[in-house]
Structures are given as structure tokens and as C-alpha cells.
Structure 1
């Protein structure tokens, strides 16, 4: 009887504890749009490893029209000429008549239509970040125009965009790195949110923004280089309606580009292509130093493809030993999509000045020797009416980063090979576009934007570094390693983000989050001179290493 009583008591206690356990596991997911919290009737939740969100509150916050067809159990969302149709409990959906298969079927919970957030991201112009410590979903609307900086310093999450990162030139076919593909719903979660307008991310049409995997080809009407001869095929003309017998065969309605020859005379790199329009892209890698030139949509002509080695890599002969170039190699880097990659292995840092593609598909680029003096732009975030984050003791981010920025600039001015330029040297508000313009007008070699982080959870802390363009990735890694050693804070890693100032600058650019002002321990340290001096020294050390001046 005693055994039965004890067993019954334990069973009763377990039932009493179940609601408590259930409540602990049911912590609601928060939802933010452009830094503003949305309060839907039903909180987002995770189903089959996918975050589902209430579509109506998101769509309406974007100015979309939402309608419901009870007979077909269909939800329609219309916005700026885009029509999306979703069917409850079915994975099939349509966008402008095109069919899609969802990862998780839409469902109705307490009268709210819920659907996978990836579908929202791809079809409503919304970028998504998942914040694990606070179980929050941050949504950002992609504006058509470049957004003005957030004057109020509203909360701004880190925005991911699926994009390959060529962190390794590989120079061998098939070794194309896929990079940084993140999704919400607990997969590759992005942890932090940042209280700033200064680091505002956008996808919009701000002129000609730098894309991942791409450095802008010099946009001016560059004169043809005397080092590369324009082929006869570029100047000959065809009779009206006549076919060009030398043109490659057309497939899928588009003629493939063929790379016929690659030559280097010690100064000029000349690449002859045929068959269609070419838009080469270029970026730099470090450790070891390399310049990478990609030709998307191109294939190797037989004259080059037949002389590659077992690694499917060919080399461009050097006429004589070179003081800058160690080797030039090429390969069919990717078959789908087809991309020819040319890699210049450097003995010391240098620049490759890419000219406009000449008539007849001739790509020319001039190798420039390294500089005797480099220009580095230091960008203390926020300023003036934009306070940035507010710390746990009510101190402002703008003051912290200005102090640290001055310390970095003062150290750089002591270096004979470096000139430091600050985007702001006092408590002044500077537009994001003006920060970028100053870097571009200064013809800066490096751009460093300094910030501090915040989140509504005091236990979260650490240092993180952001970059956007592939040419900035190695600089970001160098910088991050140096800063983490100096701060002693948790290593929150190097991350690729679409922040305005690092997306629209054309030189290697990084955005630093030194630590969390919402973390009492980190905040107390960050306002100390000794700490700032140590971090400033680490930033300068990374800059010197990047410029090969250490």
C-alpha cells in the first residue's frame, strides 16, 4: 500500500509539473519589422525546422492588400504588381502565375494565416534575420530607393542575403565555395540586433552598389590600353543579315563566351574573348596575396582547355621574372553557371586597374605597383542627433566610437606610410551617403566603420566584424582576429552583411562591433581609456598587416 501511495504521489506531481514545463517551452517568438516590434494575434512559431509567421500583419505593414477566399481556402497578397496566392494546408503557391512549392504548408492558427518566412523573404521584398538569444525574427523591407539613415537610432537587426563568398580562389574547376546561405527558423541563426541607423542595410538602387563577388569595373570611358591590340575581328563589318562564321554556336538562345587567349607582358593583362557580351568582375584575396578576375558566362576555348594540368588549371607564361607577379593561372572555375577564373599570384601587394571591355571582346587590365603612402578612412558611427545605442548606464554609442576613432587616427598618423581620414571628428551627424562619398573622394585604400552593439539581454556579449564585398573578406578576418585578442570578449565571428557603408564603398571595408553596451561588464570596460588604447592598437596592427606595412 505504501508503494502504491508513493507511486500515485509521484504520478500526481508529474502531472502538476507538466503545465510549468510546457509554459517554459512555449516562450513566444518576437517579430520586428524595420526595427519596430509587430504584435500579431498569433506569435511566430517553428514547425518542422521552419519559422512560420502571420502573413497579414507583415503584408499590411508593407502596404500590401490581403484577401481571403473561404471556398478555395486561398489567401491572396497583392503589392506593386505582384500577386501571391497561397492555399491553406497545401505546399503549392503561385506568384504572378508561376508555381512554387513551399517548405511548410500554410496553416491557420487562431484565425491567422501562417506561412514559412523564407517565402515572405523571397516574394515580399523582405530580408530576414533570426536572433537565437531573444528568439526574435527581424524583418527588413528592401526599399526601392536608398534609405535615409535612421535618425532615431531604432533597433536594426543584422540582415543576411544569400550570396556566395569566394573566400578561396581555388583556381580549379568545381571548387566554387557556396558561402553564406542563411535562413530563419533556427538554421544558421544570426544572434545580434544592433541599435543603429548608421548601419542601415538596404538592397535598393543607390547608383551602382558593389555586389558580392564583384568590384565595379572602372565606369568611365577609359581609353583602350596601348598594351593590348584590338583584334581585326573587332573592326571588320558584316553585310546586313549575314552570319558571322567565327561566332560560337548559340545555345539556349544565348551565345556562349569563349576565352581564346590570355597574355601578360609584364604590365598589361590582355584577355581575348568572343561570342557575346562580357562583364568581368574582380576582387582581391590575402594570405597569400592574389587578384582574382572572373568572367561569368564564359568557357575556355580549346586552345586553352587542352593545355591545362591534372588539376584542370592552366598557366600564363611570364616573359621574364617579375618583381610583383609570381604566377598567373586560369581555370574553368564553375560549369553551372559557367565561369572562367584568372588568378594572379602576387609576391607583394598590387592593384589591377581594369579598363572597359574593348570592341571585339578584348579585356585589358594594367598592373599597378604598390603605393608608398596609403589612405585609410576611419568612420566613427552615428553622431549629433543620432546617438546610436544607449548603454546600460545611459551613455551613448556615438561618444564611445568617436573617442576610439580618434585614438585609431592618432596612431595611424604616426605611421609614415599611412594618412588617416575621419568621416567625423566631432559630435556631428553625417549621412550614410556622405560617409561613403568621403571615402570615395579620398580615394581611400581601406575603410573602417566603428560601432558598439546592443541587445535586450544583458548576458549577451562579444565582438563581431562585418564585411560585404569578397575583396573585404580577408581584411575582415585579419581585423577580427586582432580585435578579439585585444577585447578579450566572446568571439562572435566574422559575418557578411549588407550594411550601407560597407556595401557602397569600393575599397576593402569593414564594420566593427567592438562589444555590447547592453552588457554591464563590457560596457564598463569599453569606456575606459586603457581598453580603448588597446583596441585602437589592435585595429592599427590589422591595418598595417593588410597594407603589408608590418
Structure 2
């Protein structure tokens, strides 16, 4: 879907669910298979939902102008224009005028615009799951193949291709997230040593193609793999176009074998010690799938989940975004846990990659993790809101939450908001003890600054590790 169409969609969607109001962020919104980030300062005013203008400028990349003299808000993109006036119940879209229930306002220095822009031609299929509070939306673009891929131009539903949403490599594990399952063709090659993963009838999703270097046919993009004893880099590209296929190459420093498993739309390739065998170049078969190779030695398996990522920034502060804070802490926790020979640590994401919530859960489930810890930063419409809190969903997770929290809250130095029950997907759908940590409020400038401080991050990471190890009996 084009950006301007998405902007109008956002207005129409939020108008269609006015009951969300201030609780918008507790509701999960999935558009064409991708979870959207809804800011906490969405408000319900006199029955109309109001959204900060920064949602448009920061998240959608549109040019937004504010003329204080006449109270005019102008939003431009894709050759079209929306104009609104502070205090006026009308909006102009191109040469058409639409009536609004509530006029745009300026509140606490933030410009809030009403989101009722009627568009009967949007073609959005809406499904509401009341038990899980999930809104699933499918646009006409996605269902009929009307979308385009800015990377290679082949990623549409019309031609039946699977789309790659993310590629990451951590330790000895390649993670590939797609919008649907794919049967990979994996082979081991030498001179030089490398493992080749071919994904037939696959292309890069528009979001993935837009976030990084060009990986279309004839171009090769790469992931740096610093400080890895076995891998020098990971390369990927659109390998062919008729039909489209994606090739991912793991460049090895020494011979390695591999194990492959898939779970729905998630593909995992684990590197393991070389067994002395090899396959011919361009082999289309890989070894059987005896397991993940993680935890087989009796080690405890810890999965650390950095919340949000890529097009889902999470909460936005005055200096940074939640996704960056989450990842920075997760990497520090990983580095500390690696020092314990009795623990295997796995990150759900090690870079700015988007993963759906169910994919984060699948990683932990497939690995048979002993504990799952999801790291987040909090946000509120009030800049005075502050504090650290730890959430659990099942009774079996409460002890883990209490054990981590006692060290965690002491390290942040923020207000103790306690250990609480929370019905979050990643701690509800996992079967091992699982917790979700809210370090502090990114909407509070003081706490945001402290969370950005490297020394403070080291303290917080150490506290999380101390709690995990004590729970596992490894302290």
C-alpha cells in the first residue's frame, strides 16, 4: 500500500474503533500480517479519537507543516494534501471537504488531529478478536496483489511469493522471518567454506527492502558478524526473478555443519561442529532435523527478547526510541550470560529486525528454553509517570518475576512499581517461565536520559543476569 493510502487508512481505522481511546496501546493491531505500533498519547475526545501529528511525521515520513498564525496543519505526501484548522470541524483532502466530529487541538504543546476522515473506497477487511484484543486488517492491496516491492518489484501476493521480513545472525544461528512457510534448500560448499540457503519462490518484503542496502538481482547486501570465531559475514540477495528466489550465504572461517528447522513462517539454521562430511555445490538437500543443538549438553537455555524493532519503534522519547533501548540492553545481557559456561543464551533479535509476537514465542518454544525475558521501556501521556515494573502472566512465572525484580528495580534506581500480572502475548503464549520487564518511562526525560547512559545500562543488565542466574540456581 502506498504511504498516503496508509495515512488515510490509519485515520479511518482509529475512527472505526473509538472505544480504544486512551487504551489504544493495549490493543494489538495487525495490518497485512505486520503489527503496528499505536502511541500511548492517542486520546478519545468527545467520542472522536485524536492522534499526535508526530505519528504522521515520524512514523510515516510525511511532510507536516504547522502555521501558527492561522492554526493550519498541512500534511503532504504522494502528490496529495490534507489540510486541517485548529478549532475547525472540517478537513480538506485534495479538492474535497470532509466534516469532522471534533476539531484539531493543541494540548500540552502537542498538536492532536481528529482521525475521522471518511474513505469508503479504502477496501479494508477488519476482524476483531475480543479475547486477545487483536484487530486484524487486510487491505485490498494485500489481498489482490496490488502492492509493490521497492527492492525488486516481485513481492506481491498475486504471484504467490513468500516475503522475507527479517534476516539476523546471532552466535551460531541464522534467523529468517517470512510472511509464510517456505521449504529451504540448504547446501554446504568449500573453497571457500560457506553454507548456502536458497528460498524458492521468495522475495524481500517492501518494508525489509526499504530498510537496508539494495539486495535485488545483481546486488549483494551483507550483515556484519563481529567477534565470531566461525563466521565472517552473512550475505543475501535476490538470486533469480523467474520465479523469484532469495539466496542467503553464511561465509565461514572454518568448516561447519548445520541443522535446519522451520516453524510456520520462521526458518532457523544452526551451525554445529563439522561431522567430516560435505555436500556437493548446489545440493538441494540438507541434513535431517534432530534438534536445535541448544541445551543438548545440559546447559540452561535463556531467551532474551528485545521488544519491538525495525518499522515498529515502540514508544518514542525526546532523544531515542524504545526499540533502540531494548536492543542495547538485550545485547549487554547476552554478553554477560555468555560468560557462564552453564548457560546458552539466544536473542530473538540481535539487530534492528522486526519479529511478530508469535515468532518471538516460537523461537523460545522451539529451543525448549528454560526462561524467557522480554525487555521493554514504558511510556505515558504524562511526562511525570515514572518507575520500574516486572510482569508475569502465569503462576509458574511469578517466582522468576520476583527474583529478577528485586535486583532489577535496585539497579534502575527508579520508583518501584512492583511485580504485576500482565496479559502480554509473549509471556502468555510461552510455556516456560516468562517475564516482561519495563525498565523505566521513556516519556519521562529524566528516566530516558538515565536509560541511555551506558554505565547505567551495564548496571541494569547485570541485575537482570543476577536475577536469571539466581532463579536457575546458577549464581
Higher RCO (CA-CA < 8 Å; seq separation 6+): 1
The two structures have a TM-score, normalised by structure 1, of 0.36
Larger radius of gyration: 1
> TM-score by structure 2 length?
0.42
Task: Write 1 or 2 for the structure with the bigger share of strand.
Answer: 2
